[in-house]
Amino acid sequence: MKKLFLTMTAGAAVFSLAACGETDTEQAVTSTGGEELSAEDVLSKTIERQQAMESVSATMETTQNMHVEADGETQEVKTTMNGTIDTIIEPLALAMDTTMNMQMGEETVDMPMKMYLNAEQGFFYQDPTSNTWLKLPQEQADAIFESANMANVDQTQQLEQLKEFTNDLTVEEDGDNYVLKLTIEGDKFNALVREQMESMMNSTAGGEPLTEEELQTAMDAVDITSGDYEYVVNQETFDIQDVLVNLNMTMDMEGQPMTVETTTNMTFTDYNHLDTIDIPQEVIDTAVDATQQ
């Protein structure tokens, strides 16, 4: 129960990093070259740019309010997560240093979430309770490498999925940027969000994948009620500058209903500036087998 609760909480927070409300889809903006661009045009050019991305750094800030009903009382759980991510796309390498603070009544829990991964050296993460560095077995690390969407620094997959909703996308100009907007509503988008959240939860469960039963229980308990997504895109380069998300959902934890309100701001900087991401030698030397803990 505790593992599943923490996983759903972390998954809900991290999922909100996944990406991105309703006006005329024929609306167009003018590019720096004088060309009129629709929301679909901006989306396509942003996808094309993402596909050419080699590396990027990002900062994130997430706040989450969860209300849990139990024994006739409502308990509020407040969570904040802040941190940085450096990513190289191919071959995949990542360094993530974040801190999650969870307040449950008078109890406060700090969960540092530090991890390194690359295809040659493997996947390392720090146990937040003991500060011990752990290494995943290679087969588990390979599964994470194949998903290649941890923290969703590479937004290509999410942008591609938005093509299904071009009729609901809007675009406007804001200074030197385009702003793509989408409002989550309806069962079709709910199913898409659940699919994305399933992927995120299964790759961020403290380095330990959920069992099929735990994952199915978590996903059956989630219902996305509403959400506003924005992509802020540079007009000249079509690099993503910011991803802004407001997401509301309900969950059921073994009969205990919960409502979750999450706000995330993710800022991308320094495109294509990283050649390597080296895992510190101390981490490699001191890491123990995660399956033995």
pLDDT in tens, 202-230: 544 444 555 667 666 666 777 777 778 89
pLDDT at 245 over 90: no
Structural domain span for residue 200: 2-292
Q: What is the pLDDT of residue 132?
A: 92
Which pLDDT band, with edges at 50, 70 and 90, does 200 fall under?
A: low
Residue 183, domain CATH:
2.50.20.20
Q: What is the pLDDT of residue 205?
A: 42
How do residues 142-190 score in pLDDT, each as one tens digit?
777 766 555 456 677 778 877 777 778 899 999 999 999 987 665 666 6
Which pLDDT band, with edges at 50, 70 and 90, does 31 fall under?
A: low
pLDDT at 5 over 90: no
How do residues 79-109 score in pLDDT, each as one tens digit?
999 999 999 988 889 999 999 998 888 889 8
Quick one: what percent of the chain has pLDDT higher than 90?
A: 33
User: 159 or 53: which carries more pLDDT confidence?
Assistant: 53
Mean residue pLDDT of the chain comes to: 78
pLDDT at 21 over 50: no
- Altogether, the residues listed in the chain come to a count of 293
pLDDT at 61 over 60: yes
Which pLDDT band, with edges at 50, 70 and 90, does 19 fall under?
A: very low
pLDDT at 53 over 70: yes
Q: What is the pLDDT of residue 256?
A: 76
pLDDT at 60 over 50: yes
The sign of the dihedral angle between the CA atoms of 137, 152, 125, 120 is positive
**Farthest CA pair distance, the chain:** 62
10-39 mean pLDDT: 51
Residue 84 CA to residue 215 CA, distance in Å, equals 27
User: 228 or 254: which carries more pLDDT confidence?
Assistant: 228
pLDDT at 23 over 50: no
pTM of the model: 0.76
pLDDT at 12 over 80: no
pLDDT at 9 over 60: no
Number of domains present in the structure of the chain: 1
Q: What is the pLDDT of residue 41?
A: 92
